[in-house]
Structure 1
Amino acid sequence: MNAISRFFWFCSGAHISTLEKHPTEHNKYIGIGATIFFTGLFAALSGGYAMYFVFKGDAMAVVFALLFGLIWGLAIFNMDRYIVSSINKSASTTKQVWQATPRILLAIMIGIVISRPLELKIFDKEIKERLKVSYLNNQRSKIDTLNAAFDNKYKIEIGKLNETKARRDSMHSGIKADRQKLNFEIFGNKTTETSGIMGYGPYAKRKEVELQQRQQQLDTLSAEIRKLEGFVDGRKQFDGLMTEKLYTTKELDSLTSIAGFADRNWALGQLSFTSNGKRDLNTSLAITFIGLLFVFFECLPVFVKLMSSRGPYDKSIENIETAQVHESDKDRDFEVTVIDEVHDTRVSTAIEKRKSQLRNS
């Protein structure tokens, strides 16, 4: 426990040999040091996670993540340690607040930077679902754009194909209706257009010949349609429309698993909105509160130092600093005195030497 206490004292930026003389201050600085340490730990996890997604897919991704996480965590730890230890408890409350204001602003910025990668991990499942919707919509929009460009490029051919299909459908419907009338005539079904006499008479034979001629025309139209469709399909194949398809579930899972940091960060921002663009209050508040939690955690060491009363340790530090300043002033005065004496000695020596030269001359 003694080793752990000394480690947290070091983390708090306290002067350990002075702090050991004041047992009532030990727990306070253990708490401050532990908060700073865990802030650096969270920063290391956050930075490593962010770097892992930057190099995801690379064989060295884990190494880069560990290395950057360690460097980033140590940098934040050192910065927090400096921020807390630089607050002078010997100053007035107003001056302490002014001293802490830029440090609190810096802590807020650090908290925001730390919280974002960890938010990405917390909302990982929701982010993947939002990315799937985004990728699917983008693919659908791409296909629609390609189809629109293709229809505009081959407007004449597609128009002729649609017109021929309409003629074919109309002719097919007419042949079907006339064939039914022919059957009524042969089997003696009485209608406004049939005689009602059973048998294969002259009228029926004439209708049969007409139907055969129209069927040949229909076959000719069908052949023309197949030719036009073959041309259009060939152009689609050439322009790449046949290879563009909507993503399958497996493909979407693969795309979301390799999504980069920028895509995931965008998806996290989109979680605050529903599919129709309205704000999702519940999700938005959840993301905001998590971010504020890390900001508060980052600012906590500064707040603890500000709220804590001026204890015996702070008085001892003030006395040590005052003594060092006085000693420094004494050393400076002594140096000035020595320099003045040396200067006076040199001047006197120069004057005596000059006088001697004048007497000799």
Structure 2
Amino acid sequence: MERDFYKSPKPSKTMRFFWKAAGGDSYILERSTYSDQVKYMCLGGIIVATGLMAALAGGYAFYTIFEPRGSAIEKDTVSWTTSLLAIVFGVFWGLMIFNLDRFIVSSTGTGDGTEAITWDELKGAIPRLLMGAIIALTISKPVEIRMFKSEIDAELHTAQMKKQQEYISEIEAIYSDRINDEKNKIEKWENEIQAKTNRAVELENQYIEEARNITVGPRARAVKEQWDRAKNEEEIIKQKNQPLIEDSYSNIKGFEKNKQKDIKNAEVVSSGLDGLLERIKLAHKIAGFWISLFITLLFLAIELTPIFFKLMLIKSPYDFLKQNTQELIKAEQGIYIQYNYHKDKNGQERDLIKHLESEKLLLEKKELLKVQEELTQYAISKYKENMMKKIDDNPESFIKSES
């Protein structure tokens, strides 16, 4: 039937989509006022926008975590594999946040139907507010590090260079000690060889002096024996120390090679600073407490505003139509509710809920069982009468006598 006093505007497909996002009933909204339609469209728009921001923030955070590491200011290439995975994760994250927001807003209700937010209303909304605050924080931090990306990259590059120099200094110190130990061993072994060589040369010169005489005397022969022993000891110490010296030189070469390898890895180690946590710390440091707090509060306001607004909304035709539809559905299904019927042991008023359809079915079952019981009793009594009649006519057939 057409109204002669008001005609509800015909909604567009976009408006219907936002209604669904806000958890609004399109059937009822089509029969409500234009203000109700706009109200739920705006709520749905906020939820959709939050989902889109969550998708972008989640995808960026994923890419930041799993992107190839390197210098913060020298990244010229994009990892397409990581980008593809980040897009997939961003879509998944955005849809999940969208559904969470949709559930939070649609389940909030309209409070007591007045603009004032009472303590009872606020207390009942605390779980939803906490979930909304957590969602807002997960969105705000990736956006914050993207806003200050240039400044963060510069700070990260400085920190990476400092870390790289510290790592190289540690490597130099470690390998310097190892190399010096080997050099000290070589010096010790070479000194032992040199001492034996010097002794052999000294005895050789002494023998030459003694052998200048035409006849080699006992003194010269004694010196010759000492010289021979010295040369023998020199040869023995050379055979003993030379392999050790060669091993030490080989160790030094190995240390030098490993040192150069570790120095090359210093850039890889310093690149480990380029992570999500480090960027969040630098964002707080660069932006300062108040700017960081302002960005967080901005996303908190976007996320929590629909919840507060729903608590502040005055009941409109949509709410009454929705309530009426719910009552009609309950009546159609035989559900009867008598509100504030009694108080429980804590003094809280409770409703009396009757499911008339189920009670009707139970009553029918109960009466049917009662009739079946009566019919069974009647059948048993008739059976008894027939058997008694047969006994009266021929009692011998029911008695077996022993012959």
Do they fold alike, i.e. is TM over 0.5? yes
Instruction: Please name the residue that 2:376 is paired with.
Output: 350
Pick one of 345, 361, 365 that aligns with 1:339. 365
Deviation at residue 149 of structure 1 after TM alignment: 2.3
- 2-side partners of 1:156 and 1:17: how far apart? 87
- 1-side partners of 2:365 and 2:30: how far apart? 41
Q: Taking every aligned residue pair, what percent have the same amino acid on both sides?
A: 27
Deviation at residue 11 of structure 1 after TM alignment: 1.0
Pick one of 77, 81, 84 that aligns with 1:63. 84
The 5-angstrom pairing of residues 6-85 of structure 1 reads: 6-23=16-33, 24-56=35-67, 58-85=79-106
- 2-side partners of 1:49 and 1:94: how far apart? 39
Pick one of 96, 117, 124 that aligns with 2:149. 124
Deviation at residue 72 of structure 1 after TM alignment: 1.4
Number of corresponding residues: 277
Deviates more, 1:315-324 or 1:129-138: 315-324
Q: Give the 3-state SS of the residue equivalent to 2:263 in structure 1.
A: coil
Cα-to-partner distance string for 1:185-242 (whole Å, 9 max, x where unaligned): xxxxxxxxxxxxxxxxxxxxxxxxxxxxxxxxxxxxxxxxxxxxx9999576244158
Query: Could you list the runs of 5+ residues in structure 2 that have no partner in the other structure?
Result: 1-10, 69-78, 186-248, 336-354, 388-403
Contact 2:111–2:311 (Cα < 8 Å) also in 1: no
Deviation at residue 358 of structure 1 after TM alignment: 2.3
What's the RMSD between the two structures over aligned residues? 3.2
Cα-to-partner distance string for 1:125-162 (whole Å, 9 max, x where unaligned): 122112212211111111221232234335568899xx
Structure (1 or 2) with the larger CA radius of gyration: 2
Q: Which has the higher contact order (CA 8 A, sep 6+)?
A: 1
Deviation at residue 307 of structure 1 after TM alignment: 1.6
Deviates more, 1:86-95 or 1:131-140: 86-95
Instruction: Please name the residue that 2:238 is paired with.
Output: none
Pick one of 303, 316, 319 that aligns with 1:314. 319
What TM-score do you get using the length of structure 2 for normalisation?
Answer: 0.60
CA gap of 1:309–1:59, structure 2 versus 1, over 3 A, is: same
CA gap of 1:99–1:325, structure 2 versus 1, over 3 A, is: farther
What TM-score do you get using the length of structure 1 for normalisation?
Answer: 0.67
Q: Which 4+ stretches in 1 moved above 4 angstroms?
A: 90-95, 154-160, 230-236
Contact 1:87–1:96 (Cα < 8 Å) also in 2: no
The 5-angstrom pairing of residues 1-361 of structure 1 reads: 2-23=12-33, 24-56=35-67, 58-89=79-110, 91=112, 93-155=118-180, 237-241=256-260, 244=263, 263-273=275-285, 283-326=288-331, 327-328=334-335, 329-361=355-387
Cα-to-partner distance string for 1:301-341 (whole Å, 9 max, x where unaligned): 11121121121211222222233334332322222222222
More helix by share: 1
Query: Could you list the runs of 5+ residues in structure 1 that have no partner in the other structure?
Result: 161-229, 274-279
CA gap of 1:350–1:36, structure 2 versus 1, over 3 A, is: same
